[in-house]
Amino acid sequence: MMATQQSSAVDRRQIGPIGTTARIVLGLLLIGFGALGGRVVVSQGHLQLQWDWAALAVGLVGFPALLVAMQWIRMNRNATRLQETGPLPTAINILVSPYSLAQPRCQQ
């Protein structure tokens, strides 16, 4: 009986209620920011929000579907675990990040 209690305690995350609340609030804020297309306008003291439903659909459905499809194709070719944490993948991420942030859509 002790082994069961220890394994369930180890398997659970230890972020607590504050961490869970922070994740929920931050997630909702990021979804809202994405749904607005990154545009929040304050004009003459009034907040004007223009929802970008296409951006929301791409962010919540399109992009995750594309990533799942790519992972499914990779798993069909090579069923081993994908673990890209070495120096080369890190260098590629460091080089690609500024390029993706320099795109005109990100600078608006």
User: Domain map of the chain by residue range?
Assistant: 2-107
pTM, rounded to two decimals: 0.51
Q: What is the pLDDT of residues 11-51, one digit of tens each?
A: 666 888 899 999 999 989 888 877 776 677 788 888 887 77
Element (H, E) at 47: strand 46-49
Exposure of 73 by Cβ count < 10 A (0-12 exposed, 13-18 middle, 19+ buried)? Answer: exposed
* pLDDT tens, position by position, 71-102: 999 999 988 888 888 899 899 989 988 887 77
Distances (CA, A) of 89 to 20, 27, 78, 94, 96: 30, 27, 18, 9, 10
